[in-house]
A and B are shown apart, each in its own frame.
Chain A
Amino acid sequence: MDISKLSLVELRAALRRGEVSSVAATQAMLDRIVDVDNDLQSYLTLTDELALEQAQAADARLANGDSTPLLGVPVVVKDIICTEGVPTTAGSKILEGFVPPYDAFVVQKLKAAGAVILGKTNTDQFAMGSSTENSAYFTTRNPWDHERVPGGSSGGSAAAVAAGLAYGALGTDTGGSVRQPASFCGIAGLRPTYGRISRWGVVAFASTLDQVGTFGRTVADTTAVFQAIAGHDPNDSTSLNVPVPDFEAALTGDIKGLRVGVPQEYFIEGIDAEVETAVRRAIAKLEELGAEIVAISLPHTSYALPVYYLIAPAEASANLARYDGIRFGPRVTGSDMIDSVKKTRALFGPEVKRRIMLGTYALSAGYYDEYYGRALKVRTLLKQDFLNAFEKVDVIATPTSPTTAFKIGENVDDPLAMYLQDIFTLSVNLSASCGLSVPCGFDSKGLPIGLQLIGNALQEATILNAAFAYEQATNWHERLPVIGER
C-alpha cells in the first residue's frame, strides 16, 4: 500500500483499523516533501518534529480505540492562519520572524480533532493574488505542470494536497482564494458561508469577505476537514451561533429533484472553450443523476469585479494600518516616528501597497460616496440577484475560473488581467453565499478544470452533496499528477 495515495477518508479508516500508523503516514508525507517540495515549493515552514510528536501521541490514542474525527491525519495550514510557536508570515516580509503567541480558533479546532499539522503553506502576501506570485518568498508551482501557477492565494495548500504532501488543508477565500487554486490543481475546495467558521487568529485582509475554507483530494476529504473546524466562536463577533449539521452524513449522493441553476452571465466571451465544454458536460451529468436544470439570470454579474476591487482594498487599507513596526514584525527606523512607520510599511509587497493605495483613495474625503459608497450599494444588488435565484434553484453551477492554470509570469504586469481570474468566484463572497470547486475534467494540455457549485447562505450540505454525487459518477479525482515516485 502506498500510503500517500490514500484519500483522507481512506487514511482515517485505515488508522482506526490499525492498518497504518499516524507516524507512518506522517513520515510518508515528510519523505515526499523532502523529495518533491524543493521543486514544488508549496511549504513555507515544515514542522516535522512537532508533527511526528503529534503523530506518536495520536497512535497511542488510536491504539485505545479513540475515534476523534481527524485523529492522526496529517494536514497543513495556510501561512496566513496563526499557529502558536510556529512562524506566521502571511507570505509577506512585514511579518518575517513573527511567531504568534496563540493558535487561531481553526487551528485549535484542528488540534482538538486530533489532526497532525505538518507545517505552513505558501500564499500570496496577505492573500492578495491568484497565483502565489505575490508571495515575498517564492512562487509555488502547479503539480500538473511546473511552468504554471497553482492558483492563489491559497496555492501552497492546494498544491500540497494535489501532490500528496498533505491529506487535507486549510486556506482562506476572500474572493476565490480556495476555489480557484482547487480548480487549477484538480482537487476539491470549499468556501463556506461567511460566519460559519471563526476568523479569530486569521490575519485579516477584507473583514466582510474573508472566510477560512478547506481542501481535500475528494469532496468527502474536504468535508471532513470542514466538519472539524466549523462552529461558533465567541471571540469572533461575526461568527454565527447556529447549529453545525453533520456534513459528512449529508453526503448521500442522492440529488434527485435538486434544482440546479445555470446563469447565462457566467458563460461569456473570454471563457476558455475547453473550460466551457467541460462545465456544460458536468451540468449534463448532474441532470443525468436526477437534477433539474434551470436557466437563470444573475443580472449584475458584470459589476461584481469593480465592486470587489473597491470594497476589498478599502477594508484592507483599514486592516493593514496595524502594521507599523511598533508591537510586532520588523522595524525600519527613520528620522522620526512617522518616517519610521512609512519606511517599515515599505516592506509590504507591490500588490499589497497597490491595494492599500486604492483602498485609501476609495475611502478618502471627497471620493467616499463616488467609489466605496457606490460599491456598497451595488453589493446590495448583487446579493439580491442571488437571493432571487435561490427562490428558484437550490444550487448554481458555473465554471470556477475562466481558464485553466496560466504560466508563471503571464499576468504579473497587468493587475486587471490578474483580477479577472476571480470573475466567477467573488460574487459568492460579496453575496454571502457558499461555494466550492470540484474537478470536472482536463483540457488538452492535461490541466485540471473546476466546476463551481454555489449555495445559499448556510447550505454547505447541499452543495457538498451535489459535488459528492458528481464525483461518485465521474473519475476525475482519481487522476493524480505524476510527481516524485507517485
Chain B
Amino acid sequence: MSLTLADVEKIAHLARLELTEAEKQQYLEQLSAILHYAERLNELDLSGVPPTSHAIAQQNIMRPDVAEPSLPMDDLLFNAPQQKANQFVVQAVLDDGGSA
C-alpha cells in the first residue's frame, strides 16, 4: 500500500496536526514503508479467529454511585493556558451565522 500526499494531508487533518511540507514528504515515505511491512499480516488465514481487544478481559467494573470530593478549582485551573471566571477560555467554536 503506497500512500499519496493527499492521503497524508487527509490523515493530518483528521488527527488535527499541522505538518510542514518537509514533514508531509517524510511521513509519506515512512508511513508507506511501515504499512508495507504490516502487510505481512495478510499471509495469515484469519477466518474464525476472534479479535483480542483487551489484554486481560474483564466485565464492566462498577463503583458505588456516591459523590466524592473533587480537587479544588484553583488546582484544576492551574495548568489552563487561558482561564476566566473558573472556566477555560477558547476561541469561538460556532460562527455567528450558524443555525446552531
Contacts and interface: CB of A to CB of B under 8 A. Distances in A.
Interface string B35-75: 10111111010100111111110100101000000010001
Contact of A99 (B41, B51, B78): B78
B8 to A, nearest CB: 7
A422 interface: no
Contacts of B71: 101-102
A238 B16 CA distance: 29
Contacts of A307: 41
Given A327-B88, A331-B82, A415-B34, A360 B51 contact: no
A358 B31 contact: yes
Contacts, number: 156
A7 to B, nearest CB: 32
Contact of B31 (A339, A361, A373, A457): A361
B45 to A, nearest CB: 10
Contacts of B79: 97-99, 101, 327-329
Given A328-B80, A383-B52, A375 B17 contact: no
Contact of B56 (A238, A321, A340, A345): A238
Nearest to A313: B34
A306 interface: yes
Contacts of A238: 54-56, 58
Contacts of A209: 55
A416 B81 contact: no
Nearest to A336: B91
A399 B23 CA distance: 35
B15 interface: yes
B5 interface: no
A159 B56 CA distance: 31
A309 B14 contact: no
Contacts of B27: 353-354, 357
B31 A357 contact: yes
Which of B19, B46, B61, B91 has the most A CB atoms < 10 Å from its CB? B91
Name A's interface SS.
helix
A218 to B, nearest CB: 28
B34 A416 contact: yes
Nearest to A95: B79
A128 to B, nearest CB: 13
Given A195-B56, A377-B46, A354 B30 contact: yes
Contacts of A329: 79, 81
A376 B11 CA distance: 22
Nearest to B51: A376
Contact of A325 (B39, B61, B81): B81
B12 to A, nearest CB: 7
A326 B38 contact: no
A309 B31 CA distance: 11
Contacts of A102: 71
A380 B49 contact: yes
B55 A353 contact: no
A387 B40 CA distance: 23
B90 A208 contact: no
Contacts of A379: 51-52
A474 interface: no
Contacts of B91: 333, 336-337, 340
A231 B41 CA distance: 36
Contact of B55 (A195, A305, A373): A195
A83 B30 CA distance: 35
A328 B83 CA distance: 10
A326 B88 contact: yes
B41 A457 contact: no
A220 B35 CA distance: 42
Nearest to B50: A380
A17 interface: no
A395 B82 CA distance: 53
B96 interface: no
Contact of B16 (A99, A310, A338, A415): A338
A18 to B, nearest CB: 39
A317 B88 CA distance: 24
Contacts of B31: 354, 357-358, 361
Contact of B53 (A208, A302, A325): A208
A325 B75 CA distance: 17
Interface in A302-320: 302-303, 305-307, 309-310, 317
B17 A346 contact: yes
Instruction: List the 4 shortest-distance A-B pairs measured between CB atoms, nearest first.
Output: A376-B51, A331-B81, A328-B79, A194-B55
27 contacts: A98-B79, A208-B55, A238-B54, A240-B58, A303-B44, A305-B37, A310-B38, A321-B16, A324-B16, A326-B88, A327-B80, A327-B88, A328-B81, A339-B18, A340-B91, A357-B15, A358-B34, A358-B35, A364-B14, A371-B35, A373-B51, A375-B38, A377-B49, A377-B50, A378-B41, A415-B34, A416-B33
Given A350-B23, A373-B51, A377-B50, 18 more contacts: A99-B78, A102-B71, A193-B56, A240-B56, A303-B41, A327-B88, A328-B81, A329-B81, A336-B92, A345-B15, A345-B18, A356-B15, A357-B12, A358-B31, A371-B38, A377-B51, A380-B50, A383-B52
